[in-house]
Every structure is written in C-alpha cells, then in structure tokens.
Structure 1
C-alpha cells in the first residue's frame, strides 16, 4: 500500500503525552506520508519530545509552530498543509490501536464513494471503567445521518477514530472560535457531503477529562453557548435540517445548565434553561423540568451565595471592572486595556464592565461572557459629586454612580472588583465592604508620569501631588495591577505598606482581528509608509506627531522621496490637524477600523519623549509584522531587545537615519518583522494576558 495518509496532531503543552501518541502510529508507519504536529504555543518541551520520538521511530514528522489558542484552528493549519490523499486527526494525549490505519483505509477503499471511515473507540476516564463506543446506525441517507448525529442517536466520532478522504473534506474546516462541539460541527458537515463506512473493531483509546469539560462549560457560559449556536447555524448552508440544529442548541444549553447547577450558579443556569424552554421537545422533557425545579429551589434558599471563587479550579470567578470612560467598543489605550482585561477575565467567569461616564451604546460583546453598562446617565453628569473635596489627580464622580454601583454589586454578585486607576479613588473606599477582593489597576504610575511632563504643561497640575493618593489607594486594596516590571519596582518604592503587585501587561489590541501568521509585506505606491496611531488629543502623542512630521519625515524624504507619514487617531487637536498640510503627511481622524492602515504600513516610528500613551499601539504594529523604530521611553516596560526586536535611538535624527538604513536593507527588515511578530504574540498575545490576569485575580488553577 502507498504511503498516502497525512496525520494531523494539534498539541499544546503535551510533552508528557505526545511521545506515546506518536509511538502508537509506528505499526502503520508504511501508510503514513507525513505527520504534522501543530504546536499551538507550547511553553514546555512538546516539540523537542516529538522530534526525538519521531527520529527514534523513523516517523516522517514535521513540527509547525503557531499561536492560535484553538485546537480547531490548529487542525485547520494542518489541513491546509496536508499532501496525503486522506487525513487522520489524532489528539496529542490519545493513542491509536496497532493496525488501525490499515483497517480504516481498507474500509474506505472497499466502499465506492465513501468519504469517511469510522472505527470503534475506547473511552478512558480517571474514575470509571473503559467504555467501548461502536459506530452503529449509519445509513446511505446523508440527511438522516446528520440529523441522528446532531441528536446524539449515533455515538460521537472521536478524534483518532476516523479516516477522511481528502476530496470529501475539501473546503470543510473546523470552527475556530469555539472550544466545545467544534468537532461535532466538522463531522456533521462531512456527513452531509459524503457517505460513511464503519468498522466494529476499536481503533483508538482516548482519554476523557470530566473536570476539564466541566470547567469549559461553566467558564463564560453565555458566550460559550452563543458561539456554538452561531457555528451550528452555519451548518444550515450545508443542507443540515434546521430542526436538528435547533435540538442541538437546546441540548447544549441544557448540558451547560447541568454544570452550572452542579456548581450552584443558579442565575446563569436559569438563563441557559430559557434557551432550552424555547425548544418544544426538550423544553418539556422530565430532565428540563427537574433542572428548573433545582434552580428555583437553589435561588430561593440562596445556596451558593458567598462561595469562594478559588475553592476549586473549575469554579468561575465573577469580575466587575470599573473604569472612567466607556470601554466598548474599545478604540484607544485605556479602553483597549480595560476591554482586553475583561476578555481575559471572562475565561474564568462572567465579567461586567461599568463606566462612570455615561455609555450610549446598544450592542454588547457577543463573543465573550461580558456585559457592558454605565454607572451614570447623561442627565446625571452634573449631579453633586462624591466627597466634599477632590485631591489632585482625582476624577469627578457624580453621587448617582455610587448608588448604581451598589445596586450592580447586589445583582451581579462579583467575587472581585477591579478599579481603573487612582483617578477613581472615591469609589475604592465604598467598594471595600462590597466584595471579597478589591484590585486597583494602575495603567500608569501617575506620580512618575507627572515628573515626565514639562512644567508648562496644562496636564502637570492635574497629576502633581498624586503620590499621596497612590499610597492611600494601596492601603485600601488587596492587590494592585501594573503594566510592567519597571512600574512595579517604581511603585514598591512609593508604598508605605506591602501590597501584592501583579504585572498584567497591555495585550495586543484587537488580537482577534489580526492574522496570527506573519502577513506579507505591504504593497503601496509609496515607500516607506510610516504610521503613527494613538489618541491625538493626548499631549505626549501630540508632541510625538509634531516631531515626526516636522523633523523626522523631512530627513527621511531627503533620502527616500516617496516616504509618507500617516497620523491616525481620535480627537486630533489643532496642532495635529495643522500637520496634514505638510508634504507627505496624511491625517485619518478617528478611524473606524485601523486594520487597513496597519496592513498598508511599512514602518512605525515612535519618537515618544514623555508619558506612555503609544506603547499599546507598538504591540499592535508588531503583531501585524510592522518594524518599530522608537525612542527608548516609547518601549519602556515592554522588555524588547534592541536591534533584534525593535530599533532604538535617543534623537530625532537617529530615528530618521535608522528608518533610512532599515528601508535600504530589505533582508534585515524581513528579519526584524519576523522576530518582532514572533515575540509580541508570545509575550503579549491573548494567552499570555489571560495567564497574567489569572495570576492577578489570585487564582491558583494554573493552566486553566
């Protein structure tokens, strides 16, 4: 038999199991054309162990490194690279039975027109006996197969128990936005297109982790359900019956509700059961009636109130984040950080984002279990403020905001409240008795920032004298978050009492809309196109824009006449608007979407001399593969390596000369692009921020 099977193994921190998975393929080595291990950002020795095992057994393995945080997305990378006539998916913690690929391929070849061969599998759990799952009940009727599969009338197809003909899988991909039921969506799409042939012999032993599955269900339940429901709806275009899809959605909601009830999250469970009741068949079933009764009794008796968020790794943690300005949709530095932290915290439980300033938006985030609201309305802006006086550095907080906050805490029942910065100091004291854990998120060490601003600046009086405010705030809180290790060291020297200080860095903004694979270099009629993105009403960014347009760009254009500068951001002040009249300078006022600007840029030059407003934009540029040339202050706290990941110069002339030199050396530019892209996704990507927020919330469930 020809070696024409591509084996695809998504792996993440699988050093302990990947060797056994690969070794189980050795008896069928003669049939395997290639083994693609898609390493999804592992921090252990997964790749090294896989390479050693493949070399020892003579397996044709290739490791592909990605950062996708999704098993479905990793499998899709393997599908795109597969060169075999058939594809076999295997999880990194499972093992195939000897001769399994031979049995599956023989079955596939015996039945003309079959696109999928399915074998029996053995489910192994920690505390239960092994269970044999036989693929009985498939018929030549594709519509019947999809309907019965979605309704659980056929055993689910386990990864590693099926061989797929490549022609049958053409253009079918795994959903990438969900971590549950993505395999159901994929197999359903295949069953709608191709005939299935089955064999009774077991071909796989797979390991089922009940605890991990439960944790996935109770973490962000609403967002999880909505994401799965959207993916199921897409199957209608493949001809799958809508009634079967509706049944599946109701069943998923009921399955999530079961875990929520088990963990005494009765309010969330009630929300899931509303989706179950919408389906006539499941909504009236004895099980649904039982679940609703348990929810009602639990809510009446108050069982579950006050449970510790960290008593068990699977327990969700409800987080309330209070910020000054509306955080959604996020556009500039503060709201990008607030919303990014909310997305990370939503991995551990429901999140509420509440702004002191009125929020006039309607749309809520749909991909995460996050609710956005405001503590005041437009009519309450001028209401009496909290406190009889304000210390310099404090924001004005209308009294109705505190009333609304208390109501919100009573209804949302947060385990943790995160308050944005010392400007909201007046809310720290009242929040202290409302919650078990109070965290101050310091986007900047404001007293340090004040020392950087010129004394003539109108901003300086607002922040001067804020050091005492920082000390008083720290005395109230349980923990403090800062953006960098340098900020942590500065803050430690200021505080009079020891407080846990966690580094929660700014993450890549809008990471979900950025290609995780290094984009191709921009193509445009000008070279280089230099981009500066930031809040153009913020004084440090205004100063950077003026120096870039009036000093740095002319020096670059003297050597590279086609060079262009694009300034983009919200609320540009008159000095920035005046720059648009200079040769080669363009201004994009409050862009709705910065992705086209990033996709067409060749360089980001950041001549920051004070403050820190553009640092989050540096991460965004690097995530797009745009080389960054900056002043040392601009990248302070990011721990980037000069000359390898970023180019640094102290003077405007030095920045201009570096830009010219880099543009004249395309090979070096490509190396810098690749290195910067790799580093930023590893240190500041969604997974890194989620881990930082997990630590910052005080959770001890490492790796959750």
Structure 2
C-alpha cells in the first residue's frame, strides 16, 4: 500500500489552552504519520500559544496540521467542528493532553484491514493518575449483537472507550455528533450511538496513554450539579432515536446522578447531594442498592454537622470587569423579548463588575434597577430637537442613530472605561467603527440572524427576498468586532462570521430572579378548562398571524371536544386584527401586561402556531418555567433544542396542534408529566446559572479582547 493510499485517517484534537501538552500529543502521532491524511487542531478560544506551538510541532514531526479556530464552548462542540471538516475515511479523536502509544494507530488501522465490514476498532488504554499506579483498561465483552453492546456499554459492563483508544469509520458517524450542551458523559453518548450502528473490533494491546486529572473531573460534577444532570439526562434521552434500550438509558441516568452525588458529598454540598439521590432513588434497582443506602446515610449525618460559610466568588484576575451594553430601545424596565435579553445579560455581567446599560432612544422615566452594579442611561432625551443621523444613507436593517447620541456615547466610554462594549444587533451597525478604537473588546450581540429572519418574513408574504444586503452588513460587522453572540447553535450555524468567534448566549427565563424555582401548583378549573395562553408582541406580524390561527382555526376544533376551552391573548401594541379577535366567543385580550406571571398561573396550556419569525422564543421559556406545557409549530421553538413529544409537543398543522392539545388535556397524568418536564428542562438549560455561565464565557478571560 502506497503512502498516499494509506493516508486515510483524520485526527481531531480539541484544544483549550493546551500549550503545555500539545507538543507531546502531536509527537506521539509521528510514528504513525504515514497513515494520517490530516490533523485538525480545533482551537476552542485558546488565549495562550497553543496554535503556534502546535504549528511548530507539526513541522518538526512532519504532520499535516490545520488549525480550526473558533469559540465552540466545549470539547463536544469542538470535536463536531472537526468532524464537519474531516476528509479522511477514518476518524481518530485525541485529547490534547494524551499520547498515542507508538504503533497504536497502526494497530487500529490494521484491524480494519482484517475486518473490512466493521465500523469501530477499540484498543486498550493505560490510565495515568497523579499519585497512583498506572491502570490498564482492556476492551472485552463486545459481541455481534449491537443492541446488547449498547446496553452493556451504558451499564458499565464494558470498559468505557477513551478518546484516543478508538478508530471509527467516518461513514459510521453519519448523523451522529457529540452532545454540545454537556461536558460530562458526552463521549459515552457518542460511542453508544456508534455502537448502535456499527460492528466493533477490540484489540488487547494498549494504544493510548491518557492522563486523568481528578480535580478537573470533580469540578465537572460539582459545578451547577442539577443543571449538569438534567443536561446529561436530555442527551441520553436522545439516544432512544438510535434504537438504544430505554431501560439501559434509565439506568445510566440514575448512575450519573449517583456519581454526581458522590462528589457533592465529598465537597460537603449536602443539599445538592440530597437532590441527586432523589433521582437515584426513583430507579427501581439502583435506588435500593447498597451504595445508594450508604450515600443517603452520609447525607443524613452531614446534615447534623454545622454548615461551613461559602467562600467568596471573585473573577479569576481579582479585578472587577466593567461592561457597557448599548441598546436601541431602553432595556429597563424590561418589557419585550429584546429588553429581557439585554437586561438578563446585564444582570449576568454585573456579577463580574460594574455595568452601564444605555439606549439610543430616550427613557420614559428615571427608575434604576435595584442591582447597584447596574446603572441605566439614555443617549437622547425626549423633546430635544431632531438631530442629523450618522451616515447619509442607511442600509436596510440599520436604525437611525442621531449624531449627538454618538458624542454622548464616546464621552461615557472615556469616563466609564469599560473592558467590554456589547452592541445590540445589526441595527446599531453605525456604532461599531467609532467604538472600535475605544473598546478593549467589542462584542456584537445578534438577537437574530437578521438576514435569515428577513428571508423568512419576505417568503411568508411572497415579497422578493432582499436578505443578501443584510448578509453583507453582517459580514462587515464580523470584520470589525472581536466576538459575536447569538441565541442558539442553529443561529451560529446560519451566521457566516468570517474571522470573529461566535459564542452562544441563549435567551434566559424572563424575570427568573422573581420566580420560585419549584414547580407551581396546577391551575384550578374554576375559570374553565383548558385556558390557552398566547403571549407576545401583538403588533409583530408573525405573532398577529399566530393569534389568528389560534383563535379562528385551532380553538373551534378544541371546543368540539372541550367546550369550556378559552384563549387569552396578551401583549403590547395589539393590531386591529388582534382587537377584532377579542370580540369572539371564548377569547379575551390583555393589553400591555406589566407582569405575565398571573396569566401564566391560570393557564393550562400555551399554544404557539408561529408560521414565520426568527430567534429563540423568550415567551415560550417563560411559560415552561411556570410549568405551562407548550404545543407549538417547529418554527416556534426553533433554536431551543427541545425534545419533541417529551418537553414540547410539535405539529405544523392547525389540526395537529388542536388534536395534541385535546389529547393532553384529556389525560390528567400526562398533563402533569408534561408540566414537570417543561419546568425542569427550562430551569436547567435557560435558568440564571446557565445564562451567567454563557455570559461569562462570552466575555472571555477577564473580559479582555483576543
């Protein structure tokens, strides 16, 4: 076999500040270099010299290295980015702090020569832990029954596959990706999906030396444990689509909960440990096992001991980070989806240091947030004469920015001296170039990918699509700013950003700080059943169309089965078409609701029949956070990554939406389960801690520019 023909392996190495280990990792590949078509080093926002050292090392070792740079937010997303670029027939995932044993890659590749129909080859590995002897982990027990392989793998009856100990045929990974929302057990989810599809070969000889950092591993368990567990549980649930045994998935979830509880007990996080053990106790077998009894006993004993005061939380540098958020409309008090996002992000940034939240448009009053770290101001005043705007001609999608507003903004920047300036959306494009020399770090927060949104809206009414102009504006912006924030992974995929890293900062639960985290009580039936709620800006055309679909098409069908059903439409600036709906039987309109929580407390269901529109749906998050089940079109929940039929019910048609609502309301036990699932999912993935983590990551190390 010639070198050119044999070089059919793509090596994917996710790297995050791996300057100390990357040379050893790449050097370990050199003996098998003839087999390697390409090495993709996925630079996940490194702020050290990882990429430079890797390039020098690759030249020294004769490896075909390509650096894929970005901010992917974790090893799973980084590996997925590498997979998307891979050209080799086989994929080999190696962590940046591990090393291939000489000839290991050759042994894995030769296994495929002997078994050409296989999709996965797994070798033994040597685990090295500081202060402990090395441990050999040899794969055994794999058979020809793929279902049994996945079941035994999930139940730990087979040694886990370490990254760098397996070679997988790229064809066997089609449609399979690493979960990106978790940093724990994401490799188990990936290999389980592969095992469900491919035949496996095992090799007794060691092919990998991997280093286990127990401190770093423990940190994964104790950082936001509830959110971590729920995210892992969601990722495991998705494996059912690959035909994986559901009982094995339930066992795995309970085992993960017990594993997290063990670390929580060790770090004396007793209340969190008790919560994890409730998830373990729900499993018929694990909940009654000896280890579960031991952990519960340790929790009871720990609760009798005096509590330790929590350690103060400070930024890594010990210096407060100063953040300036520039919006078009005032973000306080928050009313619309844009206001809520801007204010939530400001609240998260305020945990790291002082925040200034300023708007181009005037404020209606001088009220300030109760959070002392946030100060709110406007760059224009009501009643002042109309001033010339920036630029003699504005592209479609840009907002009008008076020149005095820019003058005042520059003065504020010089006085406040922010580490980071966050600018809201393409509408404020004209501010980016003037702010560029004044900002240590300049971030563009894309509430929507406006080019995609414009295309959706124009296609909906038959207009010619003019989104390319917006697309050019987005590309120009990407060349000016240091980073871009988007609401979802889907928006990140849609946005062609050029060189600017893209961070996913999801929309959070509106006013979460004022909500109880516990599941609210089931609404009474005193006002009829079911009460269906639709909340949104009722002057926004997609929401107007959704309200008309709900009232004119869906409600009558529901009332055939549930005659007492009613609809509540709530939102600001209702169009005449929405006001006309309020005159129909069973329909009421609540204009300008200052607080939607009383409406949500009475709602049994939220139906969102959206046909067009972009971005993630803040009002859906708010409903689910209050325990209100959601029935919607797929577009309405686009970008939220909710599991269909478990966390949300989806249908494209009015008939399907009505039938789903009827079936749900006709089954009280199912309705209760749907409420609980919706509530738990949203608090785990879009709650305050999740937003704080996303904003902290989006600001980068110490809020400094790259």
Fold-level similarity (TM above 0.5): yes
The residue number in structure 2 matching 1:371 is: 375
Report whether the alignment pairs 1:418 with 2:418.
no
The residue number in structure 1 matching 2:5 is: none
Give the distance between the partners of 2:340 and 2:376, measured in 1 at CA.
14
Secondary structure of the structure 1 residue equivalent to 2:447: coil
Q: 2:346 aligns with which of 332, 342, 345?
A: 342
The alpha-carbon distance between structure 1 residues 466 and 381, as it changes in their structure 2 partners (threshold 3 A), is farther
The alpha-carbon distance between structure 1 residues 620 and 21, as it changes in their structure 2 partners (threshold 3 A), is closer
TM-fit CA distance, 1:625: 0.5
Structure-to-structure mapping, 1:279-298, within 5 angstroms: none
Report whether the alignment pairs 1:323 with 2:324.
no
Give the distance between the partners of 1:385 and 1:317, measured in 2 at CA.
32
Give the distance between the partners of 1:345 and 1:41, measured in 2 at CA.
29
The alpha-carbon distance between structure 1 residues 529 and 36, as it changes in their structure 2 partners (threshold 3 A), is same
Whether the 8 Å CA contact 2:492–2:502 is kept in 1: the answer is: yes
Whether the 8 Å CA contact 2:399–2:427 is kept in 1: the answer is: yes
The residue number in structure 1 matching 2:483 is: 479
Whether the 8 Å CA contact 2:420–2:440 is kept in 1: the answer is: yes
Report whether the alignment pairs 1:580 with 2:679.
no
The residue number in structure 1 matching 2:554 is: 552
Give the distance between the partners of 1:17 and 1:404, measured in 2 at CA.
51
The residue number in structure 1 matching 2:394 is: 390
TM-fit CA distance, 1:422: 0.5
The alpha-carbon distance between structure 1 residues 516 and 536, as it changes in their structure 2 partners (threshold 3 A), is same
Structure-to-structure mapping, 1:380-459, within 5 angstroms: 380=384, 382-454=386-458
TM-fit CA distance, 1:558: 1.4
Give the distance between the partners of 1:596 and 1:508, measured in 2 at CA.
16
Give the distance between the partners of 1:426 and 1:15, measured in 2 at CA.
51
The residue number in structure 2 matching 1:538 is: 540
Give the distance between the partners of 1:464 and 1:558, measured in 2 at CA.
46
Give the distance between the partners of 1:553 and 1:46, measured in 2 at CA.
41
The alpha-carbon distance between structure 1 residues 604 and 464, as it changes in their structure 2 partners (threshold 3 A), is farther
The alpha-carbon distance between structure 1 residues 346 and 359, as it changes in their structure 2 partners (threshold 3 A), is same
Report whether the alignment pairs 1:593 with 2:595.
yes
TM-fit CA distance, 1:641: 0.2
The alpha-carbon distance between structure 1 residues 585 and 482, as it changes in their structure 2 partners (threshold 3 A), is same
Structure-to-structure mapping, 1:454-469, within 5 angstroms: 454=458, 465-469=469-473
Deviations 1:622-654 (A, max 9, x none): 000000000000001000000000000011111
Structure 2: 5+ residue runs without aligned partners? 1-221, 226-259
Whether the 8 Å CA contact 2:633–2:652 is kept in 1: the answer is: yes
Give the distance between the partners of 1:214 and 1:667, measured in 2 at CA.
43
The residue number in structure 1 matching 2:186 is: none
Structure-to-structure mapping, 1:88-103, within 5 angstroms: none
Structure-to-structure mapping, 1:604-615, within 5 angstroms: 604-612=606-614, 615=617
Whether the 8 Å CA contact 1:352–1:370 is kept in 2: the answer is: yes
Give the distance between the partners of 1:462 and 1:370, measured in 2 at CA.
39
Give the distance between the partners of 1:320 and 1:468, measured in 2 at CA.
26
Give TM-score, length-normalised by structure 1: 0.59
Q: 2:684 aligns with which of 672, 682, 685?
A: 682
Give the distance between the partners of 2:406 and 2:458, measured in 1 at CA.
35
Secondary structure of the structure 2 residue equivalent to 1:587: strand
Give the distance between the partners of 2:267 and 2:476, measured in 1 at CA.
55
Give the distance between the partners of 1:46 and 1:213, measured in 2 at CA.
31
The residue number in structure 2 matching 1:37 is: 271
TM-fit CA distance, 1:473: 0.7
TM-fit CA distance, 1:609: 0.6
Give the distance between the partners of 2:296 and 2:320, measured in 1 at CA.
45
Secondary structure of the structure 2 residue equivalent to 1:213: coil
Whether the 8 Å CA contact 2:273–2:299 is kept in 1: the answer is: no
Whether the 8 Å CA contact 1:444–1:487 is kept in 2: the answer is: yes
The residue number in structure 1 matching 2:630 is: 628
Structure 1: 5+ residue runs without aligned partners? 1-9, 23-34, 63-86, 91-95, 97-158, 161-205, 220-311
The alpha-carbon distance between structure 1 residues 571 and 645, as it changes in their structure 2 partners (threshold 3 A), is same
State how many pairs are aligned: 442
The residue number in structure 1 matching 2:161 is: none
Give the distance between the partners of 1:468 and 1:11, measured in 2 at CA.
40
Give the distance between the partners of 1:58 and 1:549, measured in 2 at CA.
51
Give the distance between the partners of 1:41 and 1:420, measured in 2 at CA.
39
The residue number in structure 2 matching 1:504 is: 505
Question: Which deviates more from structure 2 when the two are superposed, residues 334-343 or residues 367-376?
Answer: 367-376
Give the distance between the partners of 1:19 and 1:334, measured in 2 at CA.
41
Secondary structure of the structure 2 residue equivalent to 1:391: coil
The alpha-carbon distance between structure 1 residues 385 and 46, as it changes in their structure 2 partners (threshold 3 A), is farther
Structure-to-structure mapping, 1:184-195, within 5 angstroms: none
TM-fit CA distance, 1:367: 3.1
Secondary structure of the structure 2 residue equivalent to 1:476: coil
RMSD in angstroms over aligned alpha carbons?
3.2
TM-fit CA distance, 1:363: 1.5
The alpha-carbon distance between structure 1 residues 58 and 518, as it changes in their structure 2 partners (threshold 3 A), is closer
The alpha-carbon distance between structure 1 residues 444 and 12, as it changes in their structure 2 partners (threshold 3 A), is closer
TM-fit CA distance, 1:378: 1.7
The alpha-carbon distance between structure 1 residues 460 and 678, as it changes in their structure 2 partners (threshold 3 A), is farther
Q: 1:59 aligns with which of 297, 316, 333?
A: 297
Give the distance between the partners of 1:381 and 1:687, measured in 2 at CA.
43
The alpha-carbon distance between structure 1 residues 531 and 462, as it changes in their structure 2 partners (threshold 3 A), is farther
Give the distance between the partners of 1:328 and 1:459, measured in 2 at CA.
35
The alpha-carbon distance between structure 1 residues 574 and 313, as it changes in their structure 2 partners (threshold 3 A), is same
The residue number in structure 2 matching 1:516 is: 517
Whether the 8 Å CA contact 2:443–2:484 is kept in 1: the answer is: yes
TM-fit CA distance, 1:555: 1.0
Deviations 1:64-116 (A, max 9, x none): xxxxxxxxxxxxxxxxxxxxxxx9867xxxxx6xxxxxxxxxxxxxxxxxxxx
The alpha-carbon distance between structure 1 residues 669 and 16, as it changes in their structure 2 partners (threshold 3 A), is closer
Q: 1:642 aligns with which of 641, 644, 653?
A: 644
Whether the 8 Å CA contact 2:328–2:428 is kept in 1: the answer is: yes
Structure-to-structure mapping, 1:153-302, within 5 angstroms: 159-160=306-307, 212-213=311-312, 215=314
TM-fit CA distance, 1:464: 6.4
